[in-house]
Amino acid sequence: MEQEDNKPHNSPLCLDSNNSIQISALNDPTSDLELFSKEVLTALIADNLPPTPNNFSLYFDRILEDKSESLKRQIGSILELEENNDDEKNIALEKTLKQGFSSVRGILQLSTTLYKNMTLMEKILDKRKDEVKNTPSMAAVNDILVSLSTDVGKLGGILKKQVSHMKELYDETATIVRQVENETIFDDQYGVYNKRYLISKLTQEVQLVMEFHHKSSLVFVRLSDTTLSIINSEKAKQLMVRTVARLLLKTSRRSDTVAHYGDGMFAMLLKHTDIVNAKRAAQRLFDLVASTNFFLGEQEVTLRIAIGLSEINPQKSVEHILTCTLDAMEAANSEHKNHYMICND
């Protein structure tokens, strides 16, 4: 039996003789943010509240209100690295959508007016036909035709203007739809984030790693060529790719970002995860995918994936990190004996 270690532990939480939670030293925090965070945690425990993310955030904001302006600015400048202005983006997107709805409403109103005018045109023609039938004189018929030509000309001019206006509204709506598509962060085909969102989160994480010196990793995943070569049906291949996306979501943590990079390639941003733990996650993912039963009719297909890994280096550009990790994934696809390959900076 191992002897009990009587040395004090460095955990921030410990139990006193009455089994009450107490705050121990946080390894002598030196930064203002660390000291302030310790104060927030102390207040939570003093109020007998669990230090969940929501409670911590609530107390963090509340206690910060009573601090000096210099401390607010100092902590605020640090927090700006983690903020992504979601509220401002949502407001801008909402304004764009409302503008789009207004354009669509205009198109519908014009369509209604056009329909009414076309109905009016039919009534005018029917009326003139009846007049012609009941008019024996050619001169009178000519007068009716002249009147009809005038009516049609006026109505045609109105219709031409309305069609032109409708085209303007259609072009405006199409532009708004493209703007909304450019602002989306979700890939509805696979139920994960899209490439645009991944790049924004990776850019943000590179800045955070540079500032706080923690470890984070990036993982790229796709079905291996060996697996894809077995299937001829594009529909079946899409089903397998969706299966990979579902398993990625199943194995990811709340803090991870899972995104579709394009062409059936997926990325997973592992925050606060060094390369050692990233390799463990990659191996778990490989084993999970390989053990998943995938049937095409009566044929059972064993899924194999290629995985590329890299630890985020803040000295490298986002483009370099993405390219290097993608190259590692392709290397893993070529080297069938390796379940994953690591990016070599």
Is the model more confident about 242 or about 124? 242
Q: Report the candidate in 276, 102, 70 with the shortest Cα–Cα distance to residue 173.
A: 102
112-158 tens-digit pLDDT: 887 788 788 778 777 777 777 777 677 777 777 777 778 777 877 88
Number of domains observed in the structure of the chain? 3
3-state secondary structure of 266: strand
The number of C-alpha atoms within 13 Å of 76 and in the hemisphere containing its C-beta is 10
Task: Let me know whether 296 and 167 are in one domain.
Answer: no
What whole-number distance in Å separates Cα of residue 344 and Cα of residue 313?
11
Together in a domain, 114 and 140: yes
CATH classification at residue 297: 3.30.70.270
CA–CA gap between residue 162 and residue 152 (Å, rounded): 15
Pairing of strands 340-342, 305-311: parallel
19: alpha, beta or left, given left = phi > 0 and alpha = psi -120 to 50? Answer: left
Q: How far apart (Å, rounded) are the C-alpha atoms in residues 221 and 53?
A: 30
Nearest to 225 by CA among 204, 213, 240, 210: 240
Q: Tell me, yes or no, whether 72 and 212 share the same domain.
A: no
Helix (H) or strand (E) holding 108: helix 86-133
Which pTM was predicted?
0.67
The CATH number for 166's domain is: 1.10.287
Residue 15 sits at φ, ψ, to 5 deg, of -105, 140
Can you give the pLDDT at residue 28? Answer: 47
Neighbours of 232 (CB within 10 A): 8
Mean pLDDT score of the chain = 82
Q: Give 182-240 pLDDT, tens digit per residue.
A: 778 889 899 999 999 999 999 999 998 998 888 999 999 999 999 999 888 899 999 99
Assess whether pLDDT exceeds 70 at residue 278: yes
- What's the token pair of residue 128? 């003139």
224 and 335 in a single domain? The answer is yes
Q: Show the domain range for 255.
A: 192-342
Contact 310, 322 (CB under 8 A): no
Residues 66 and 121 in one domain: no
Structure token digits, residue 107: 């198109």
Tell me which of 79, 103, 134 is where a domain ends.
Answer: 79
Least Cα distance to 332 among 202, 225, 198, 218 occurs for 225
